[in-house]
Amino acid sequence: MRRAVYVLLAMLVAGCAHQKPDARADVPDAVVQYFDRLDAIYRSGSTPVDINTLFDLMTRDVRYLHTAYEADFNRETWYTAFSRIQSNGGYQEPATFCSAITNSIPGDNSYAIQYAPGSVSPGGCVPDDDTRMLVVFSLREGKIARIEELW
């Protein structure tokens, strides 16, 4: 499994130089909406409604994992974390903040997505710099069942 993740990462990095600023065309709608709704939460002035809208995209048994931070959240724990950070004023990104999808690799009901923080422009979301992050989404019946951040 670990080798497969490294191969995916190498493929994403190698393809990065040839990507358009936002490569959303071949990404499932639930994943595109995930980034759009997550961006809305991160922006200053977000509300609990934004969190609810994000979680509407997910299965009841969704798992969120972040390897580097040793995070392993079920739906309730993850929702509570979003709510706590929001109520403490932790989300303060500008209105122009967005997440640019810079590459994707489809799998069997899974998608490896390379993304970057960016800024909204007339042509869509454009990455701000060379920072790239990797996340793997697993889908079930059109909903997000698992998210694993690998950065």
- Report the number of distinct structural domains present in the chain: 1
Q: Distance between CA atoms of 127 and 143, rounded to whole angstroms?
A: 26
Tell me the whole-structure pTM to 2 decimals: 0.84
CATH number of the domain where residue 59 is located: 3.10.450.50
Question: pLDDT in tens for each of the 151 residues of the chain?
Answer: 544 444 444 444 444 433 444 667 679 999 999 999 999 999 999 999 999 999 999 999 999 999 999 999 999 999 999 999 999 999 999 999 999 999 999 999 999 999 999 999 998 999 998 999 999 999 999 999 999 999 9
74 and 63 in contact (C-beta within 8 Å)?
yes
Range of the domain at 106: 2-149
